[in-house]
Amino acid sequence: MAGWLTPNNVWLVIGFAGQALFASRFLIQWFRSEVAGRSIVPVSFWYFSIAGGLVTLVYAIHVGKDALPFLMGQIGGLAVYARNLVLIFRERERMISPAP
């Protein structure tokens, strides 16, 4: 069983785990939208985006210069996902404590 546990296989698992996290955000969004009967983008969508993006970014860094376009795409995406969470938290804060 331990024969498959090579560094290359571990990195392959990390790459697939990142893609699985990233893809699962769409399942979450779809499920929540179906339950609501309208298009919903839950906060968990952005958390899964960040988790999948980070794991995939680590994998792209490991792969090296051959994955440069992939790496740059992940960095850009992570900025967008994080910004969406900042906007969501700001809106929630305004709802909790409105300006006088």
In this prediction, residue 15 has a pLDDT band, given cuts at 50, 70 and 90, of: confident
Structure tokens at 33: 């939208």
Structure tokens at 76: 């850009």
Per-residue pLDDT reduced to its tens digit, 60-90: 888 887 778 878 888 888 999 999 999 999 9
Let me know: does 22 contact 53? Beta carbons within 8 Å: yes
Let me know: does 77 contact 53? Beta carbons within 8 Å: yes
- Three-state secondary-structure class, residue 58: helix
Name which residue leads in pLDDT, 21 or 98: 21
Every domain of the chain and the residues it spans: 2-76+87-95
Structure tokens at 72: 């740059």
| Residues present in the chain in total | 100
